Amino acid sequence: MNKREYTIALAGNPNTGKSTLFNVLTGLRQHTGNWPGKTVIHAEGFFTYKNEEYRIIDLPGTYSLYSNSADEEVARDFIIFSKPDVTLVVLDATALERNLNLALQVLEMTDRVIICLNLMDEAKKKGIVIDIANLSKKLGVPVVPLAARNKEGIEELLETVARMVHGEINTTPLVVAYSRAIEEKIAKLLPLVKEVVGEEYPARWVALRLLDGDTSLLHALQHHPHHFLKEGATYACHCAKSV
Ligand SMILES: Nc1nc2c(ncn2[C@@H]2O[C@H](COP(=O)(O)OP(=O)(O)OP(=O)(O)O)[C@@H](O)[C@H]2O)c(=O)[nH]1
Ligand SMILES: [Mg+2]
């Protein structure tokens, strides 16, 4: 019997070192191509760690994961529809505040997240000190410091990835609280969304996207092979307009 291969996605703002990390992890076992139907180049690579096979996808760098561009949609769709076993969110440690925005968005989509705090060498040079343990506690997911270009922190990252795919890490992703008005709408919509998407998709995130009038997500859901989901998505969208 073939052993299972784990899928890892690399997300993050542009220029945070995703491709550098991708190259360190995969060496020469990689190829680039086009996503079907979209002119966004993606890279896919493979590596082995402790006798287990991993596939890693270098997603386009984005500042958010809404539907503002093809890049954002590609990254968003991969996390939502392909359900990677682990999503690595690569952050620039010298611009943590700006980078955290994307991390919080990913935490709304999946609980299998590891934060890679990259460019730690630059942060140190600039005298930036980050309390890793506290950040990890606040975000509710592991945070691993890295200097990918110098191959620093890679072993700890791989070990954390392995533990996560084996279900040895319990995460409690930070839930962003919105204004009372929005939370009330979410509360109304949530049971309906749960009925439609069940356990298959993160209900709170879907509700938020619907409230935001994200028609592209709706479109993606309507093309889902599951008939019930297609109809449900249309219905949920209709309800989102009226809550
Ligand atoms: N000092 C330092 N530089 C790094 C590190 N990791 C990556 N870089 C540099 O940062 C720059 C951007 O790295 P990339 O790997 O291309 O970043 P990316 O996230 O793939 O960028 P996009 O694909 O544009 O989103 C390059 O010049 C890298 O050499 C690091 O840990 N330390
Ligand atoms: Mg890149």
Tokens of 117: 């705090």
How far does residue 119's CA lie from ligand 1's centre (Å)? 8
Which segments of the chain have a pLDDT < 70?
Answer: 1-2, 28-41, 218, 221-243
Q: What are phi and psi of 10, to 5 degrees?
A: -110, 115
Instruction: Give domain status of residue 172, yes or no.
Output: no
Please tell me whether residues 45 and 133 are part of one structural domain: yes
Please tell me whether residues 115 and 224 are part of one structural domain: no
Residue 189 confidence (pLDDT)? 86
Residue 36 confidence (pLDDT)? 56
Of 57, 64, 62, the C-alpha closest to 83 is 57
**Is 71 near ligand 1, meaning CB less than 6 Å away?**
no
Please tell me whether residues 96 and 143 are part of one structural domain: yes
Q: Which domain holds residue 238?
A: 180-242
Please tell me whether residues 80 and 194 are part of one structural domain: no
Of 97, 95, 118, the C-alpha closest to 11 is 118
How far does residue 84's CA lie from ligand 2's centre (Å)? 19
Cβ(113)–Cβ(86) below 8 Å: yes
121, amino acid identity:
D
Of 175, 195, 194, 10, the C-alpha closest to 84 is 10
**Is 121 near ligand 1, meaning CB less than 6 Å away?**
yes
Residue 200 confidence (pLDDT)? 83
How many structural domains is the chain composed of? 2
Tokens 């966004």 sit at which residue? 40
Please tell me whether residues 192 and 161 are part of one structural domain: no
Task: DSSP letter for 131, please.
Answer: -
**In the predicted model, what is the mean pLDDT of the chain?**
87
How far is 17 from 119, CA to CA, in rounded Å? 8
Residue 145 confidence (pLDDT)? 98
Instruction: Give domain status of residue 175, yes or no.
Output: no
Please tell me whether residues 105 and 185 are part of one structural domain: no
Instruction: Give domain status of residue 173, yes or no.
Output: no
Would you call 87 helix, strand, or coil by DSSP? strand
Please tell me whether residues 101 and 75 are part of one structural domain: yes
Please tell me whether residues 65 and 158 are part of one structural domain: yes
pLDDT in tens, 155-184: 999 999 999 999 999 999 999 999 999 999
Please tell me whether residues 149 and 218 are part of one structural domain: no
Which spans in 92-179 are helix H? Answer: 96-109, 120-125, 132-139, 154-165
